[in-house]
Chain A
């Protein structure tokens, strides 16, 4: 290769790189504006005693973080967020996979119709789902009527107002609402498996559950790890459905970190809201999500590496 052609090659590479950056620039600018800047300013706000209304801001260092760490109601919401995640993620993973396997069958009639039905709650606004579910789960709602008629209960159950039932109820509703997305993920993973593998295994006398155990499962596992990661992070940030259905109650039984933050950022009875404190709680929990996300990611990478062997 001559010196001239090598220089031409290097020039073309540089041009390509610059074009890549040019195309990335709008996204980067939006990221900086709507993600980067709020994160940086959030770190600053967390060190202030500030209502968010007044121009007077007092620097308090790490005092907000110390107060968050000493508030038992923050830890209650922290625990609730994880309980919610541990309830919702298995529903999304296990039931989502079962339905996806059923919908992936080539001999299933009206498969597109079923997929649409499962996906419908995903595209419905969470607030609307929440309000409708309040009526469905009400004392005179269809679920209680069914249970009363079947003789399973003697008095209607207050699914969202009883502190022992509320968490379970919001887990089931949230699990159902977002099931469609996970079915789509699982379907994408299932459809990525070449038919030849199934054909070869069938010729070798393999069938039914063995096909699923030895071919489907190992091949969709890497994708499953990614689905799990997305679900873990997503469910830890739950807010809209909780806010509409229980508002974190009764008496903080379904209070998540997101509803805890909202309460301090926007509510007050006598005094002023506490944006600084709420931001520090957000950062506190944000770090937790990053750690949980990183651990899940490491696990996902290991699963991918193992299945590639």
Chain B
């Protein structure tokens, strides 16, 4: 027995020693100056993936000692993968902050390192004004993350001019109000006779419903912050939840009416945004509400599509507000555990550098609007992209941001728990017919949100006594930029 026990113990020790030796070898390989530095980059930017692959090749060619290992995941996959990687101390060298997470919190947890000392002093000067702001991508004066794209609302109305003509509508006059859009969608559905429909959406994606609910209600005066992550769960003017604002109820009724008219493409509720985009491109629907990234995608996949761009529609009661945006956002940062921070910073710099083709290629192809100075003016060549930019910026205004105005709110965001089901879930439920009483559902969400905000402020006060509900209230006219 003693012999056999010894064999088992020896085998275990031998295996552990082999593993340890293997790890040592891999560390040696990483430190070997002759071997190229391998930079791991991970994100979820699927619409710019082809251009990123081209940029990675360009970067490797100009920097022979650096190899790029780029992984593009879906939003959900990315979040799970990065959470596990950070916890295991094996985060990629460069990665964005997962959607819904606050930079303050992750910097506090040691996810990222400051970029300032790794890039030239004039790095930030190359970006559009307002791109960097304390509490968003700068923490205590140090830069931790760079935005991916210029901020533009993502809820403009694209329409198919050919289907407009078939329905007897003027292809140069897109709808501007809820009623107009509803009437146009009805006419297109009738003309389609089952071949094409009024409108299509990626109905399975709750975040799309959420964006539409908030942006359209904001045009009616709800004054909620747009974009991901939302900078506040309450109205930026009243400090109370605006989920039951009359403009939100009107928005819900508008979407529900589209459904009861039979204007939605029958696949709407079982598909996601990319599938909806593809079916719209194939001429199966007259309208789709999406963001700028579609322009480039359709130019490649459906070059014959007669595309029109219209504004986000306003409630019939008239425009009383704007889609509140913030120029500063946080996206890519350098992992605090990166073994090659200088090379990582070089990559980050190259992405925004005019010497590389990444920014201009994305703008030229209509993938996004750049956050780098001069790029948009010079390289927007697609007329639909120009139209989108003008219409979106007409509907948008710079909104106040509690995170920037009151850095002490970081304690609030570290504790706040979303109320579920959220506004996106409710709109999906209302349109699919699962919620019969819209007003009651929105009142309940608003009440729960106010309770959650109150409870979180109370809890956050223990960490920072200065925090108060007033931090979330601003003197802002939502028809003008906040200054």
Contact = CB atoms under 8 A, between A and B. Distances in A.
A158 interface: yes
Given A250-B269, A268-B418, A270-B232, A161 B105 contact: no
A116 to B, nearest CB: 30
A15 interface: yes
Nearest to B207: A269
Q: Chain A contact residues (Cβ within 8 angstroms of B): what range? A: 35 or more
Interface stretch (A17-25, A80-88, A96-104, A186-194): A17-25
A250 B429 contact: yes
A268 B210 CA distance: 13
B203 A250 contact: yes
**Which one of B284, B418, B429 has the greatest number of beta carbons of chain A within 10 Å?**
B418
Given A246-B204, A250-B432, A269-B229, A156 B420 contact: no
B101 A158 contact: no
Given A18-B4, A247-B204, A251-B425, A271 B413 contact: yes
Contacts of A22: 4-5, 8
B379 interface: no
A139 B418 contact: no
A270 B452 CA distance: 12
Nearest to B111: A53
Interface stretch (B41-49, B161-169, B260-268): B260-268
Nearest to B453: A270
B187 interface: no
A252 B434 CA distance: 9
A144 B266 CA distance: 11
A46 to B, nearest CB: 16
Contact of B268 (A158, A163, A247, A272): A158
Interface string A270-293: 111110000000000000000000
Question: What is the interface residue range for chain B against chain A?
Answer: 35 or more
11 contacts: A18-B5, A22-B4, A53-B109, A134-B271, A138-B270, A155-B194, A247-B204, A267-B100, A268-B101, A271-B413, A271-B416
A159 B229 CA distance: 32
B66 to A, nearest CB: 30
B269 A139 contact: no
Interface in B78-101: 79-80, 83, 86, 100-101
Nearest to B449: A270
A195 B127 CA distance: 82
A241 B5 CA distance: 46
Given A15-B1, A250-B269, A163 B109 contact: no
Given A25-B8, A250-B432, A272-B414, A53 B106 contact: yes
A160 interface: yes
A209 B311 CA distance: 69
Given A250-B432, A268-B418, 6 more contacts: A22-B8, A25-B8, A160-B270, A161-B270, A271-B413, A272-B416
Interface string A228-254: 000000000000000001110111110
A268 to B, nearest CB: 4
Interface in B224-269: 228-230, 232-233, 262, 265-269
A270 B100 contact: yes
A27 interface: no
Contacts of B414: 54, 56, 272
B422 interface: yes
Given A53-B101, A268-B100, A158 B417 contact: no
Contacts of A161: 203-204, 266-271, 432
B76 interface: yes
Nearest to A15: B1
Given A251-B428, A270-B229, A156 B266 contact: yes
B interface, by DSSP: helix, strand, loop or mixed?
Answer: loop
Contacts of B106: 53
B415 interface: yes
7 closest A-B pairs by CB: A161-B269, A251-B429, A160-B270, A139-B266, A271-B416, A161-B270, A251-B434
Given A270-B229, A272-B101, A162 B269 contact: yes
A270 to B, nearest CB: 5
Contacts of A139: 265-267
Given A53-B101, A140-B284, A251-B432, A271 B267 contact: no
A269 B418 contact: yes
Interface of A: 14-15, 18-19, 22, 25, 52-56, 73, 134, 137-140, 144, 155-163, 245-247, 249-253, 263-264, 266-274
A270 B418 contact: yes
A249 B416 contact: no
B413 to A, nearest CB: 7
Interface in B261-292: 262, 265-271, 275, 284
Nearest to A154: B194
Contacts of A245: 270
Interface string B157-191: 00000000000000000000000000000000000
A245 B270 CA distance: 8
Interface in B414-443: 414-418, 420-422, 424-425, 428-429, 432-435
A94 B432 CA distance: 34
A279 B434 CA distance: 28
Nearest to A144: B266
Contacts of A274: 417
Contacts of A15: 1, 4
Contacts of A268: 100-101, 229, 417-418
B85 to A, nearest CB: 12
A139 B79 CA distance: 32
Contacts of B265: 139
Contacts of B432: 161-163, 249-251
Contacts of B210: 269
B267 A140 contact: yes
A281 to B, nearest CB: 12
Given A156-B266, A269-B100, A163 B8 contact: no
A52 B434 contact: no
Contacts of B83: 52-53, 266
A259 B120 CA distance: 46
Nearest to B197: A139
Contacts of B413: 270-272
A155 B76 CA distance: 34
B100 A250 contact: no
Nearest to A14: B1
Nearest to A275: B83
